[in-house]
């Protein structure tokens, strides 16, 4: 619509100069992945994609050239952002691998850890009331965050992962940062009473090599703006987190 055209126009001109992230390329992954079992069934997760879309918007507002690689969501596409849609972890991996070198990668996508070992070509039929199919074998999906984080000439200067945890949030997130090789981890508590998954607010702990800072409970747009500001300070060398 008209509003989107205007936003896209200003974001494009910001990319040329004047924004804190002008001249920088940012990749954001967002949303869940859907991992099919057969033509109608799939394994999903409760990621709504809201936090990732908000970060794509916040980075674009600072003048970054943003690509958003998104799993299935019902969210409005951010204006002035190149959106690439996908469904499965394998599809997301292929899109990420095809990207040119980025300055920063923010991996918010809740990529399924596993997928069904086989995708059955026809809908699995229930034969009788108590009929049960064989237990569903799972195989590991590619680890997109670890791949992006691995040392290489094309590694983004700053790689940020997300960790959705239901218990021992900080300890799990610290371990994840080391295991994945990313620079920062944005950890959030998605425990039963948090209302974070699908909700409008987020409770963040930002974990870096040197520091761990807990943010107040904030609207996901405010989390995004705060993170985008930190990204810009880090890329410009103003902070050394």
Exposure of 114 in the CB half-sphere (CA atoms within 13 A): 7
End-to-end CA, the chain: 39
- The one segment of 32-40, 49-57, 213-221, 232-240 that binds its own copies by CB under 8 A: 32-40
143 scored as a contact of its own copies (CB under 8 A): yes
Distance, in Å, from the CA atom of 181 to the CA atom of 143, rounded to the nearest integer, reads 11
Instruction: Give the per-residue contact string, 202-241, with its own copies (x = CB under 8 A; - = no).
Output: ----------------------------------------
The verdict on whether 45 is a catalytic residue reads: yes
3 state SS of 17: coil
Out of 43, 95, 150, 229, the only residue in the binding site for its own copies (CB under 8 A) is: 43
Residue 209: phi and psi, rounded to 5, are -60, -45
Q: Which of 5, 6, 94, 136 binds its own copies (CB under 8 A)?
A: 136
Q: 164: closest CA among 94, 107, 228, 231?
A: 107
Options 45, 57, 168, 193, the catalytic residue: 45
Residue 19: C-alpha distances to residues 23, 50, 81, 199 (Å) = 9, 23, 15, 30
Judged by CB under 8 A, the chain residues 189 through 208 that form the site for its own copies are 190-192, 197
Q: Are 19 and 66 spatial neighbours (Cβ–Cβ below 8 Å)?
A: no
Nearer Cβ to its own copies, position 143 or 233?
143
Closest CA to 118 of 67, 43, 23, 215: 43
Q: Interacting stretch for its own copies, rule CB under 8 A, among 14-22, 31-39, 53-61, 150-158?
A: 31-39
Q: Are strands 138-140 and 114-116 parallel, antiparallel or unpaired?
A: antiparallel
Q: Is 44 in the site for its own copies (CB under 8 A)?
A: yes
Nearest distance from C-beta of residue 105 to its own copies, angstroms: 19
Q: Which residues are catalytic?
A: 45
The residue ranges that bind its own copies (CB under 8 A) are 34, 37, 39-47, 74, 110, 112-114, 122-126, 129-140, 143, 146, 164-167, 172, 190-192, 197
């Amino acid at each position: 619509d008209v509003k989107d055209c205007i936003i896209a126009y200003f974001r494009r001109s910001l990319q040329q100069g004047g924004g804190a992230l002008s001249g920088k390329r940012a990749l954001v992954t967002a949303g869940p992945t859907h991992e099919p079992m057969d033509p109608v069934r799939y394994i999903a997760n409760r990621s709504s994609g809201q936090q990732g879309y908000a970060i794509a918007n916040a980075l674009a507002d600072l003048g970054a050239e943003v690509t958003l690689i998104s799993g299935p969501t019902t969210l409005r596409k951010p204006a002035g952002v190149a959106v690439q849609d996908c469904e499965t972890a394998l599809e997301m991996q292929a899109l990420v691998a095809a990207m040119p070198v980025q300055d920063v990668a923010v991996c918010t996508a809740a990529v399924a850890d596993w997928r069904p070992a086989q995708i059955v070509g026809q809908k699995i039929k229930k034969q009788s009331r108590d009929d049960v199919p064989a237990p569903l074998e799972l195989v590991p999906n590619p680890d997109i965050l670890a791949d992006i984080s691995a040392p290489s000439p094309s590694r983004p200067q700053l790689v940020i992962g997300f960790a959705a945890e239901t218990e021992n949030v900080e300890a799990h997130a610290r371990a994840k940062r080391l295991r994945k090789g990313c620079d920062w981890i944005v950890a959030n508590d998605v425990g039963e009473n948090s209302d974070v998954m699908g909700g409008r607010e987020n409770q963040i702990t930002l974990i870096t090599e040197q520091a761990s800072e807990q943010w107040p409970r904030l609207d996901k747009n405010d989390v995004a703006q705060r993170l985008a500001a930190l990204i810009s300070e880090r890329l410009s060398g103003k902070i050394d987190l």
